[in-house]
Structure 1
Amino acid sequence: MRRILLGAAMAAMLAGNGVSPALAQGNPFQPLVYVNDSAVTRYELDQRVRFMQLLRAPESDPASAEKALIDDRLRLSAARQMGITPSDEQIDAGLAEFAGRANLGVEEFTGQLARAGVERQAFRDFISAGVVWREVVRQRVVPQVRVTDAEIEQELQKIIETPRTTHVALSELIIPAPPGEEARAMQIAESLVQNVRSEGDFAAAARRYSATPSAESGGRLPWTPLANLPPALQPIILSMKPGQISQPLTVQGAVVLFFLRDTRGTLRPGAREQVLDFVRFRLSSAEEANRIAAVSDSCADLFVHARGLPAEQIQRQTLPQGQIPTGEALRLAVLDDNESTVISYGGAVTLLMLCKREPALLAAETSPAAVPVTAGGAEGAEDGQAAAPDPDALPGRDEVRNMIFNRKVGQAAESYLAELRSNAIIRRP
């Protein structure tokens, strides 16, 4: 999404969009704030504000830009203490990667920045802080982050229990942007993003600014299948929550805003089905069964008490819930993992212990699946083409592990930055 929005921002800039006037005039090299005796000047703040405005970034107001510059000072200081210095090659690669998000080369990108009053050094400083911080995080944070199998199980469980969005209720607002008026249309859109707080606000703005027939109804569109939306728009809508307005999107001759009113979704097929791993231990009396149950904390413990007994007297099975005899299924339904119950109807006595309960999808994900093949290769593949991915399939465990790992690294890095901030001496002259 950030790539899309950055591309849209650069397109607006190429169309002649400017930035807000510079900060209040004064000595450009006047220190505004000291961070451990390193000064942030008025000029640096002016440059960062202009740069962020061009990127349509939320941190484009002076207060947010100043905080970002303070954090950059802390990042650079932490890097120096660790002996980390960015090479010219690393910075050049960072400049190229960032400019590439707008489908521009570095020279073309910096040329557009210069025309908007942003010097190349401000762009380079922004990239340098990011380059050294990545190395700080790699050396200090990454070695401390671990992802356990239990965390992967929990994340997969969350994915299974979360409905996948299939339909969305959107409202649209399309601001005309004929040649020469692109900047004005973008300014209106940005103002709406900052000020719209409810569906009512958006509806009023749509009636005032939107150039589509839906304007009369406040921009409201009917429930729409997500699959019917343009592929480039789907990830943007999926990243929003009901009650949120999108960032401005530029299209030919217009600037577009969306308001997400609501979503509908369904669980993956089989998400409600369960697979139970349990032990059935047949014993001669209820007293013996209760005694064993009282001293057994896991399914493995039951097999210790079954030593020397016929194999058919104790069984461990993993079955879909629907394949377990009804009487036993009812008793297992109220048990948590490693809990047990004794079934006694005046004859044979059965000790049941639930080892593990998990969604059928998760159980299937952990079991190797047989892939039917034909003489020509995988079934269904034609002309050497790979089969289409199953949209109902769960992400692989490695993919989930990487997702959790990256999230934990990000959280740990933010915590470390907050620690640096709290330990720093930040003062104003």
Structure 2
Amino acid sequence: MSTPATTRFQGKSRAGARALPLALAMMLALAPLAPQGASAQTFGPAIRVNDKVITQYEIDQRTRLLTVLGAPGDVRKMARDALIDEKLELGAADSFGFALKDDQIQAAMEQYVSRTQLSLNDFLARLSQAGIDKESFRDFVRAGATWQELVRARFQSKVDVTEQEVDAALAAQANQGSVSVAISEIFIPTGSDPQGAARLAEQISQIHSIPAFADAARKVSAGQSAAEGGKVDWMPISNLPPVLQTQIMALKPGEVTPPLQVQGALALFQLRALRENAAPKKTYSAIDFARYYIPGGHSPEAMARAAQIAQSIDTCDDLYGINKGQPEKLLDRVSLAPDKIPTDEAVALAKLDDNEISTAVTRDNGQTLELLMLCGRTPAGVPADIDRTKVMNQLKDRQLSSYADGYLAELRADARIVQ
């Protein structure tokens, strides 16, 4: 099992509680709470989740942690809900015999703490000053890392993003003039404490709840929209700065952009809703395609070889496996502007959808068959050198997040929860 990594695929269900501790460094900028001794705690059961128990002490510890972080809203309810989810997740992991080793948990804790630029020991000392014990933090990290690994193990094989979906995501960015958005905003002054502002901004950027973002805006935003929960009226997305247009188009409703540096502040924007105004004509700035050369032109042998290849591959990347051990010159993958593609290839490619193959073109006076495979089209307005792999990975993370949310919803529906 690989070392667990902190990712964003945890899903909307955890946004209120698990996402906030991604900015645990926030406590460095806050006055520590007085330590709370064990004598003030009760270790009796407060909630039963199937065969697992949540104690009042666990609730107190998590509430204390969220309070130190300055979490908006009802932090005690947030703590209870998060702990219930974690018990369900750990129960699911137990049912599959799925558990992390001590060194994996240690690595996950260190990864969390790396955001604070402190050593783990120093960070735990700060927690102790706030009345939060090491085991509470360890349990929190263990639950999150275990859930992430379990979701990967169960659903990674089901995640499937096609080149067409990548094209659609890019097209959404390219056709920004036809899209209007409803967003909310938060402006955090950097002032004399830029590090504290950065920690708070990182915390808020993990929110996935529209009410939670609005609550945070009312509490911390220096913008004129703060009293309205940061809400901004509908507008064409083309009115926004280009750097923000791309970030907004990559969001789902409820998600928040990374912090953006503006004059004297850090800005965060949440997408509340999106609507299309019109469907513009599609144009493309680049065509990504592969050429695989087969000796024999349109001979039966060459065509049979092309058919064999076509049956054994699904995407352009599979052609690298076909060419393994063969001369590199047999495979050529390029991304060209439409007017730079030879006419015969352009005509053949125009008839294809993504990952489809044409054998219409030959080279060397008909002696070499050119197997053409369309990898994807880049819509006009999107840079031709855009990282399609990055876009695809973002879409895969969203799918995995959706599986995680659905799985947790099933666990909740089947659970016996007694408070």
Q: Please give the TM-score of this superposition, normalised by the length of structure 2.
A: 0.52
Structure 1 residue 128 and structure 2 residue 142: aligned?
Answer: yes
Find the counterpart in structure 1 of residue 164 from structure 2: 154
1:209-251, CA deviations, whole angstroms, 9 ceiling, x for partnerless residues? xxxxxxxxxxxxxx77446x9xxxx998777789998799999
Q: Is the 8 A contact 1:75 1:133 kept in 2?
A: yes
Q: Is the 8 A contact 2:255 2:270 kept in 1?
A: yes
SS at match of 1:28: coil
RMSD: 5.9
Give the counterpart letter for 2:416 in structure 1.
I
User: Structure 1: how far apart are the matches of 2:254 and 2:402?
Assistant: 26
Structure 1 residue 271 and structure 2 residue 271: aligned?
Answer: no
Structure 1 residue 421 and structure 2 residue 412: aligned?
Answer: yes
Deviation (angstroms), 1:61: 1.6
Structure 1 residue 106 and structure 2 residue 120: aligned?
Answer: yes
User: Structure 1: how far apart are the matches of 2:108 and 2:412?
Assistant: 25
Structure 1 residue 145 and structure 2 residue 158: aligned?
Answer: yes
Cα 1:11–1:80 change in 2 (3 A) is: closer
Max Rg structure: 1
Find the counterpart in structure 1 of residue 309 from structure 2: none
Q: Is the 8 A contact 1:202 1:259 kept in 2?
A: no
Find the counterpart in structure 1 of residue 330 from structure 2: none
Q: Is the 8 A contact 1:193 1:246 kept in 2?
A: no
Find the counterpart in structure 2 of residue 194 from structure 1: 215
User: Structure 1: how far apart are the matches of 2:76 and 2:60?
Assistant: 8
Deviation (angstroms), 1:19: 6.1
Equivalent residue in structure 1 for 2:28, among 6, 11, 14:
14
Query: Structure 2 matches for 1:337-376, cutoff 5 A?
Result: 356=352, 366=375
SS at match of 1:33: strand
Structure 1 residue 163 and structure 2 residue 173: aligned?
Answer: yes
Give the counterpart letter for 2:158 in structure 1.
V
User: Structure 2: how far apart are the matches of 1:176 and 1:401?
Assistant: 34
SS at match of 2:98: coil
Deviation (angstroms), 1:401: 5.0
Deviation (angstroms), 1:393: 2.5
Equivalent residue in structure 2 for 1:392, among 384, 389, 404:
384
Cα 1:171–1:127 change in 2 (3 A) is: closer
Q: Is the 8 A contact 1:171 1:258 kept in 2?
A: yes
User: Structure 2: how far apart are the matches of 1:255 and 1:122?
Assistant: 34
Find the counterpart in structure 2 of residue 66 from structure 1: 80
User: Structure 2: how far apart are the matches of 1:92 and 1:164?
Assistant: 43
Give the counterpart letter for 2:173 in structure 1.
P
How many equivalent residue pairs? 298
Deviation (angstroms), 1:178: 5.3
Query: Structure 2 matches for 1:198-237, cutoff 5 A?
Result: 202-203=223-224, 205=226, 225-226=241-242
Cα 1:166–1:17 change in 2 (3 A) is: farther
Deviation (angstroms), 1:90: 1.0
Q: Is the 8 A contact 2:186 2:222 kept in 1?
A: no
Deviation (angstroms), 1:193: 4.9
Deviation (angstroms), 1:97: 0.9
Give the counterpart letter for 1:415 in structure 2.
G
Give the counterpart letter for 2:410 in structure 1.
E
Equivalent residue in structure 1 for 2:97, among 75, 83, 105:
83
Q: Is the 8 A contact 1:13 1:54 kept in 2?
A: yes
User: Structure 1: how far apart are the matches of 2:374 and 2:71?
Assistant: 40
Find the counterpart in structure 2 of residue 300 from structure 1: none
Give the counterpart letter for 1:72 in structure 2.
E
Deviation (angstroms), 1:88: 1.2
Gaps of 5+ in 2: 1-5, 9-18, 205-211, 228-238, 275-279, 289-337, 355-371
1:142-167, CA deviations, whole angstroms, 9 ceiling, x for partnerless residues? 3x5152xxx41331221232135999
Cα 1:409–1:260 change in 2 (3 A) is: closer
Gaps of 5+ in 1: 207-222, 276-319, 330-353, 369-389
User: Structure 2: how far apart are the matches of 1:193 and 1:39?
Assistant: 33
Cα 1:257–1:60 change in 2 (3 A) is: farther
Cα 1:99–1:8 change in 2 (3 A) is: closer
Using CA pairs below 8 Å that are at least 6 residues apart, which structure has the higher relative contact order?
Answer: 2
Find the counterpart in structure 1 of residue 59 from structure 2: 45
User: Structure 1: how far apart are the matches of 2:256 and 2:190?
Assistant: 18
Sequence identity of aligned pairs in percent? 31
Find the counterpart in structure 1 of residue 402 from structure 2: 411
Give the counterpart letter for 2:60 in structure 1.
D
Q: Please give the TM-score of this superposition, normalised by the length of structure 1.
A: 0.51
Give the counterpart letter for 1:392 in structure 2.
A
User: Structure 2: how far apart are the matches of 1:365 and 1:426?
Assistant: 53
Find the counterpart in structure 1 of residue 321 from structure 2: none
Cα 1:96–1:59 change in 2 (3 A) is: farther
User: Structure 1: how far apart are the matches of 2:253 and 2:162?
Assistant: 28
